[in-house]
């Protein structure tokens, strides 16, 4: 179990540029989540995948944000035409979902990607 891996750790970009983040989940986990966190706030849900299917996308997520998880392995989160309000920590997490179980297993987070838009 090597944990959830996120790259890059930090990204500084100019307003209007596109950025892409990568997340490699724990290998046996079938669910992958993206959250965003700003200073003093709890993580805010963006989207999640079960295997390769994107099952939910937050209404707060604008059309500038897109996420993929090809082949149900790693995932990418792309932000187009970045704005200063996009500056945040982007957190990826994974979990093992068992549809037969009554409860959900915990999220395991990566180290996050800190985005600064200047």
Interface residues toward another protein, by CB under 8 A = 33, 35, 40-45, 48, 55-56, 89, 91, 97, 102-104, 106-112
Q: Are 47 and 57 in contact (CB under 8 A)?
A: yes
CA 113 – CA 68 distance, rounded (Å): 17
Q: Which is nearer to another protein, 6 or 82 (CB)?
A: 6
Beta-strand pair 113-117/10-13 = parallel
**Phi and psi torsions of 21, nearest 5°:** -115, 150
Minimum CB separation from another protein for residue 46, in Å? 9
Minimum CB separation of residue 89 from another protein in Å reads 8
Please give the structure tokens belonging to residue 12: 């500084």
Give the span between the Cα atoms of 81 and 32, in whole angstroms: 24
To another protein, the closest distance from the beta carbon of 18 in angstroms equals 24
Kind of pairing, strands 53-57 and 19-24?
unpaired
Shortest distance (Å) from residue 36 CB to another protein: 11
Which of 21, 35 has the CB closer to another protein? 35
For another protein, give the closer residue by CB, 57 or 80: 57
For residues 5 and 76, which CB has a smaller minimum distance to another protein in the complex? 5
């Amino acid at each position: 179990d090597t944990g959830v891996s996120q790259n890059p750790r930090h990204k500084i970009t100019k307003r209007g540029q596109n950025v892409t983040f990568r997340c490699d989940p724990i290998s046996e986990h079938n669910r992958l989540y993206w959250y965003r966190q700003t200073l003093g706030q709890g993580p805010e849900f963006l989207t999640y995948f079960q295997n390769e299917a994107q099952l939910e996308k937050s209404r707060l997520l604008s059309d500038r944000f897109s996420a993929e998880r090809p082949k149900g392995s790693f995932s990418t989160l792309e932000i187009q035409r970045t704005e200063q309000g996009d500056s945040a920590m982007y957190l990826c997490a994974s979990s093992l979902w068992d549809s037969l179980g009554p409860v959900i297993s915990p999220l395991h987070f990566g180290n996050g990607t800190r985005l600064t838009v200047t």
